[in-house]
Amino acid sequence: MSESASVTSEMTRSEGAPGGPGALARIPWPVWAIAGASFLIHMMTATRYGYFRDELYYLACSRHLAFGYVDQPPLIALVVWLVTHTLGTSLYALHFLPALANAGMIVLAGVMARELGGGKFAQELAALSIAVAAVYAVIAHQFAMNVFEPLFWMGCAYLLIRMIRSGNQRLWLWFGVLSGFGLENKYSMGVFGFAVVVALLLTEHRRVLKERWIYLGGLIALAIFLPNLIWNVQYHFPFIQLMRNIRASGRNIAVGPLGYIAQQIFMMSPMNILVWLPGLLYLFCSREGKRFRILGWTFLAVIATFMILAGKDYYSAPAYPMLLAAGGVAIERAARQRAWLKPSVVLAIVLGTAPLAPMMFPILSVAGYLRYQRALHIVPPATEKSHLASPLPQYYSDELGWPEMAADVAKVYNGLPPAVRAETAIFCQNYGEAGAIDFFGPKYGLPPAISAHQTYYLWGPRQYTGESMIVLGGHRAQLDKLFKHVERAGKFGVPYALEQGPIWLCTGPRGWTLREVWPKIKKWD
């Protein structure tokens, strides 16, 4: 018998071997109930407000499948393509997988708590903590990379736990598979990988660096990520250019270390600190938890990295399930001597989070939400200066006004003579506007939009010369320098939407063509 098999056998005798194919079957029914309730809530509110800005962009990317895009790896576009070609393009269809992914997070949190040695209550508390975490509820209402990212991080963390429990170093191969696909979903998977390496160096588990399995896992991750890496080389790493431009523009709202920690507490729902903070302490201070200290160091390395890089608060969200699972175990063990602890923690989390429900789930109308916000004197969270333009949180504001915008543009476009229409381009300032024109415009007879923003820039001006253009937003003084004739032909925008402005009809370029000026108007920010 091999050493790893011997260790596994010993684990089976001494600890019940909670892993393995039957692990899900042994999850307590309340965990499944919490996951099911979360899924139903998200599906019941799937059509509230409308399509999110990024969803419209990903729909456009799915019509231009490639190995990479300016601001994200290719997996999200491929998944959207699969969804639209099976379930359709309705809000119910698009929000099905995010709701399912969130339910999967809840169940996986229970599994991780069990792997860490937790019993029934630990698993249920971990699941509840995931379900009421504000950041997870919000991202589960959007089809975006963020909703799938925690599953990749949690999957890798689960494998770390299994390797500690079983000594089976071959699991690094599966770690590599998950990491590779995680990188194809979002580049921040690399931050998690870096954090794991730091954690290995800071713990006794550094000995695995002498084994071949971790390096084979790294090669698997690289192989999966290679198509996007090659694409980035071909296009001179657009994502790095994008990040540099964002930092230089000062678009993001900067906060200090204390402000960042405060954002973390609010992001996870304030009462959840009763779980994740004990989880962190359990990993570092408890005799049983020290065995899994690598998870604690991984978490701290993630937080430190994003603080140094001035990342947005939600970038670190995928790291918290590890602590929530450990926190469930810590509280369960502490409750052996304090029977009141279990109901007290659960009650505090439920009652303390309930007032935040309208911020987490779109259960109120816009008017109802604004009344709720005023009553509680809540200031909507904002991570970019442009988000301050609406009293609503950005994730609600960016679901408003897109169909109306397409209809307003259509009035201008369809009012043109047929011969002029054929050569008129619809130019949008950003991918949200362009994505809305591409998605809602066909029923009005609108052609695909053009834009110099993000990946739309790579798709170019197509056949248009610039002789006639409908321009959304922008300033007349700038347009007068470019065109001989500029007319304000309409306006777009609904109350509380972030995108509002004039619609310009511009003709007669002053000595230039779109193809000539296209490289000069690239907008990656």
The CA R_g of the chain, rounded to the nearest whole Å, is 25
Residue 355 lies in a domain: no
Rounded CA-CA distance 331/123 in Å is: 11
CB 432 within 8 Å of CB 57: yes
Q: SS3 for 6-52, per residue?
A: HHHHHHHHHHCCCCCCCCHHHCCHHHHHHHHHHHHHHHHCCCCCCCC
Residue 430 lies in a domain: yes
Residue at a domain's end among 289, 323, 339? 339
Q: Say whether both 89 and 184 belong to one domain.
A: yes
Residue 453 lies in a domain: yes
Q: Say whether both 322 and 283 belong to one domain.
A: yes
Q: Say whether both 322 and 434 belong to one domain.
A: no
Instruction: Give the pairing of strands 501-509 and 483-492.
Output: antiparallel
In 303-386, which ranges are E strands?
none
Rounded CA-CA distance 49/142 in Å is: 12
Residue 346 lies in a domain: no
Q: Say whether both 467 and 426 belong to one domain.
A: yes
Q: Which two tokens stand for residue 55?
A: 């969803």
Q: Say whether both 321 and 428 belong to one domain.
A: no
Within a 10 A sphere around the Cβ of 256, how many other Cβ atoms? 9
Residue at a domain's end among 397, 415, 445? 397
CA quadruple 227, 229, 234, 239: dihedral positive or negative? positive
CB 267 within 8 Å of CB 313: yes
Task: Single out the residue of 406, 335, 372, 358 nearest to residue 124, CA to CA.
Answer: 335
SS3 137: helix
CB 433 within 8 Å of CB 59: no
C-alpha distances out from residue 29 to 25, 41, 42, 305, Å: 9, 18, 20, 37
Locate tokens 């918290």: which residue?
320
Q: Say whether both 380 and 419 belong to one domain.
A: no
Q: Say whether both 390 and 413 belong to one domain.
A: no
Q: Say whether both 322 and 419 belong to one domain.
A: no
CB 454 within 8 Å of CB 370: no
Task: Label residue 12 exposed, middle or buried (CB < 10 Å: 0-12, 13-18, 19+).
Answer: middle
CB 313 within 8 Å of CB 260: yes
Please give the model's pTM, rounded to 2 decimal places: 0.91
Q: Say whether both 382 and 500 belong to one domain.
A: no
Residue 39 lies in a domain: yes
Q: Say whether both 281 and 423 belong to one domain.
A: no
Q: Say whether both 218 and 331 belong to one domain.
A: yes
> Which structural domain range is residue 392 located in?
366-397
pLDDT tens-digit profile, the chain (525 residues): 343 343 333 333 333 344 555 666 688 999 999 999 999 999 999 999 999 999 999 999 999 999 999 999 999 999 999 999 999 999 999 999 999 999 999 999 999 999 999 999 999 999 999 999 999 999 999 999 999 999 999 999 999 999 999 999 999 999 999 999 999 999 999 999 999 999 999 999 999 999 999 999 999 999 999 999 999 999 999 999 998 888 877 666 667 888 899 999 999 999 999 999 999 999 999 999 999 999 999 999 999 999 998 888 899 999 999 999 999 999 999 999 898 999 999 999 999 999 999 999 999 999 999 999 999 887 766 666 556 677 899 999 999 999 999 999 999 999 999 999 999 999 999 999 999 999 999 999 999 999 999 999 999 999 999 999 999 999 999 999 999 999 999 999 999 999 999 999 999 999 999 999 999 999 998
Structural domains of the chain, count: 3
Residue 488: its H or E element:
strand 483-492
- Phi then psi dihedrals of residue 474, to 5 deg: 90, 175
The pLDDT of residue 379: 74
Q: Say whether both 393 and 416 belong to one domain.
A: no
Residue 344 lies in a domain: no
SS3 498: coil
Rounded CA-CA distance 115/126 in Å is: 12
C-alpha distances out from residue 290 to 14, 203, 466, Å: 18, 10, 65
